[in-house]
Structure 1
Amino acid sequence: DCGLGSVRLRGVVVVEVVCSDDSLSQFPSDGLPGNTTTLSIQSTNLSTITANHLQATPILKELQLYYNNLSTLPSDLLRAVPHLHTLDLTGNHLHFLPPYVFSHAPLRNLVLKINLISGVDADWLPDNSNLTWLDLSGNHLTAVPTALFQKLRHLKNLDLSHNRLEKLLAGALNPLSSLERLNLEGNQLSALDPSAFRNTPNLTHLFLQENQLERLPPTLLQGLHRLEFLFLNFNRLGHISNTLLEQLSSPWTSNHLWVAFSQNPWVCDKKVEDLWKWLQKNQKKAFLADDIRCASPESLKERSVMSLTDSELGL
């Protein structure tokens, strides 16, 4: 069951088709208007889609295939849609994708979230890809696809959250000098290289929550003068260096910076003094500042770091 709608934007007719019948198992080629610009097939039993199917929509610009039964795609899938800029494959069963699968259209937005992908092939994309948005969240990735990044010099948003990443190798992000948002939430990162973000000076949003980070290199945020959101909650941080904290309150840092430090096992000894002082001066920058609490020693357990006194810190 497909619905059809059209609207005129700036003199151009935009034709949108939405198919959302769970009994649909074949691509609905018959009846698709040739001037369809947006096609959404969602929550169906569609398991196969080919380049021949897409010949019915030669001026297609957006293709959304949410929550279907696709497990693979043909390498020439996008051959018949040379104007396609957005492809969303959220919630399918994709695990293997062939080389060149995204090479035949000038894609700017590619969403592959909530699939079964365990490895990424650089040959999926053409050299010097136009992608500005790549979402690989909710897959089974154990390594960052460094070779793929060499082709993504225009990328602004990268979402690798809720995978199984254990490492972010030094230099892995170096090609992504245009990157503005990086989401690594919900992985298994236990450490970060000091130079991990050295070549991503345009970062405004950095999501590192729900990992296993036990310490942060003092120079980790050096050069990130545009940073507005830094999420470090739900890690294993016991201490944080004064050098790093100074970077979060330097004159070059955004006045709108928000930092999340809560839900970490802070050790409230003399070494927590730097964090304590920073919170006194920068309370407005700390998201849920009162929830930044001591895990030890036992006498201070669950106390808000901000509420500690000089004598309790042994100063």
Structure 2
Amino acid sequence: MARVRVVRWAWAVLAGLCALATCEVQQQCPPRGEISPCQCSVKKNGLDILCEFTDQQHISNAMGVLKGKSLVIFYLKLRHNNLRKLPGFVFLGLDIRHLTIHNSSLSVVEEASLSSIGKMLTQLDVSQNSLTSVPSAAYKNLHQLLILNMNHNKIGSLHAKAFEGLDTLEILTLYENKITSIDAEAFTGLEKKLKRLNLGGNGLTSVPQKALSILDTLKKLEMQENRLTEIREGDFEGLRNLDSLGLAHNKLTEVPSRVFSHLSLLNSLEMDGNSIVYIDEDAFAGLEENLQYLRLGDNNIHTIPTNALRRLHRLRHLDLRSNNISFIAEDAFAGFGDSITFLNLQKNDIKSLPALAFENLNSLETLNLQNNKLMHIPEEIMEPIVDTLRVVDIMDNPLMCDCELQWYKNWLKSLRDKDDEMMQKKRTVCMMNHEHREYSLQNLPLEKMQCVIKPFESGTSKAVGIKAQSAVGLLLLTYMIY
């Protein structure tokens, strides 16, 4: 009898230790027939349950079988079902960590449907359903939730305290709904942890400044594909930790003075696909220290906004593709070009390049001039950047074959450890006017054009030459002194 007590005591201690150490229990799927038409597989962290193309009754039956078995359901995926309503207590007795209810016509989530799994659930995906509002009452007990995906629903507005209770939430995505209004208190309760908010693909006509202003932990805000017609100074006040802002594909026509002045930590700004004509010279005030990625492609900009860009001395990536730029000033990149590694000017109306166009682009690695109206690209223009370039795209320009283009042929030979393979595949051609024939720039007929063939000097050989010249100069100076 005493021995039995000792054994029981040992098991009790072991169970207690496992509870404290969260011991891994070997998970096993129930017999397939018991949860059919749902399927089960064993993953490292628990079970993966998939229920597809079925209805509420079959799902409820499967959940009933799984109850009370001390199983960890790491993934429960309910996809492509007829599940218009998520009934109360449907998950009672289950330990679910990631729940997906996708493309299942869901329009009603009862208040008690998720409360029983609120202490375990970390991710909830109810995308591509028929929700017309945020089911706040059902969400309020999800105190461990990190990610909430409500993309592709029919939500028209966000009411006050819509997400109250989700104080651990870090990512909230509401892409492709029908949101036209957001209450000033809509995000109350999210200010402690929220890092990413996606409001893209909705019908917003202005920035919901009051609602956003409390989100001082937010790192990424996506508002692309809305109907924003203007942005104003103060619209982003309060978002002091924002790292990335997406405003692409709206209806903006100008970037006014100091509109981003509160976003001193902003690293990436996307404004492509608008109708921007005017950029104030103080438009990017406040972004001096951190902005590195700026996308202004697919707008109606007629000239490089040098005065506005000049303060951005850390800018690395500048995209101005598909605008109406026809002229580049010699000082277009002066004051901010030292750090640029990527410059995209493709699909503009550029007819010529001034001699000093790229003089300040000392770090440039990728230059895209594709699909412009360039007939000549002289070597003197490319000389300041040719040693740092890894990619240069000058395809789809009406280039005339001339001796000045041999810089391109020599540059290709020098790539070696750069993106050689990709560049070799590009078919860049020029036209020999009197022959009415195209030639690849890799095979320029230099002899036929009676060119003086210039050996290409790589950055290394140039550096050696400079050192040699310096050494000779030093010897002459020494000789003169003595």
TM-score, normalising length: structure 1: 0.83
Q: CA deviation at 1:188?
A: 0.5
* Of 212, 215, 222, the match for 2:275: 212
CA distance in 2, matches of 1:90, 1:155: 19
Q: Is the 8 A contact 1:160 1:183 kept in 2?
A: yes
Within the alignment, does 1:74 sit opposite 2:135 as a pair?
yes
Does residue 158 (structure 1) correspond to residue 221 (structure 2)? The answer is yes
Query: How many equivalent pairs are there?
Result: 295
**Equivalent pair of 1:265/1:295 in contact (CA under 8 Å):** no
Question: Equivalent residue for 2:349?
Answer: 293
Letter in 1 for 2:216: R
1:185 maps to 2:185: no
Between structures 1 and 2, the one with greater helix share? 2
Task: Describe the shift of the 1:2–1:186 C-alpha distance in structure 2 as closer, same or farther (beyond 3 A).
Answer: farther
Higher CA-based Rg:
2
Note the C-alpha offset of 1:294.
3.1
- Residue by residue over 1:142-180, the C-alpha shift from the partner in whole angstroms, topping out at 9 and shown as x without a partner, is 010000122111111000000000111111112111000
- Report the equivalent of 1:111: 173
1:18-167 superposed matches below 5 A: 18-27=77-86, 30=90, 34-59=94-119, 60-106=121-167, 107-126=169-188, 128-167=191-230
Matched to 2:100, the amino acid is S
**How far apart are the structure 2 equivalents of 1:216 and 1:121?**
30
In the TM superposition, residue 33 of structure 1 has moved relative to its aligned partner by 5.6
Q: Tell me, in whole angstroms, the C-alpha distance in 1 between the residues paired with 2:295 and 2:180.
A: 25
Task: Tell me the CA shift for residue 193 of structure 1.
Answer: 2.0
2-structure distance, mates of 1:67, 1:73: 14
C-alpha offsets along residues 227-267 of structure 1, whole Å, 9 cap, x if unaligned?
2211000011112343234334x3xx15xx11101111114
1:99: how far off?
1.9
Q: Please list the CA deviations of residues 182-228 of structure 1 after superposition, one character each: whole Å capped at 9, or x if unmatched.
A: 00000001112211111111111100000111121122223422222
Is contact 2:132–2:154 with CA below 8 Å preserved after alignment?
yes
Q: Residues 220 and 24 from structure 1, CA distance in 2 versus in 1: closer, same or farther, beyond 3 angstroms?
A: same
Counterpart residue identity of residue 162, structure 2: V
For residue 247 of structure 1, give the secondary structure of its aligned residue in structure 2: coil
Give 1:272 shift: 3.8
Paired residues of 1:76 and 1:104 also in contact (CA < 8 A): no
Instruction: State the match for 1:313 in structure 2.
Output: none
TM-score of the two chains, using structure 2 as the length reference: 0.55
Deviations 1:67-86 (A, max 9, x none): 01111233423122122222
Q: Is the 8 A contact 1:77 1:101 kept in 2?
A: no
Q: Which amino acid aligns with 1:148?
A: A
For 1:133, the aligned partner's letter is: R
Q: Is the 8 A contact 1:155 1:176 kept in 2?
A: yes
Letter matched to residue 24 of structure 1: L
Aligned pair 1:197/2:197, yes or no?
A: no
Structure 1 residues 277 and 180 mapped into 2: Cα distance closer, same or farther (>3 Å)?
closer
Indicate the residue corresponding to 2:294 in structure 1. 230
**8 Å contact kept, 1:134–1:157:** yes
**Which structure 2 residues correspond to residues 258-269 of structure 1 after superposition, within 5 A?**
258-268=317-327
Whether the 8 Å CA contact 1:178–1:202 is kept in 2: the answer is yes
Give 5+ residue unaligned stretches, structure 2. Answer: 1-36, 47-71, 353-370, 382-482
| Aligned-pair Cα RMSD in Å | 3.1
Please, which runs of 5 or more residues in structure 1 have no aligned partner? 311-315
Q: Name the SS of the counterpart of 1:220 in structure 2.
A: coil
In structure 2, which of residues 292, 307, 311 is the aligned counterpart of residue 247 of structure 1? 311
Cα 1:82/1:279, change in 2 over 3 Å:
closer
Give the Cα–Cα distance (whole angstroms) in 2 for the partners of residues 89 and 170 of structure 1: 30
Shift of 1:24: 2.9
> C-alpha separation between the residues in 2 aligned to 1:281 and 1:86?
40
Bigger relative contact order (CA 8 A; separation at least 6): 1
In structure 1, give the amino acid aligned to 2:318.
Answer: V
Whether the aligned pair in 2 keeps the contact of 1:51 and 1:80 (CA below 8 Å) is no
Relative distance call for 1:280 and 1:210 in structure 2 (3 A) is: same
Distance 2:98 2:164 in 1: 20
The answer to whether the 8 A contact 1:17-1:38 is kept is: yes
Residue deviations 1:95-148, cap 9 Å, x none? 133321101111221111000001111222226443111100000000100001
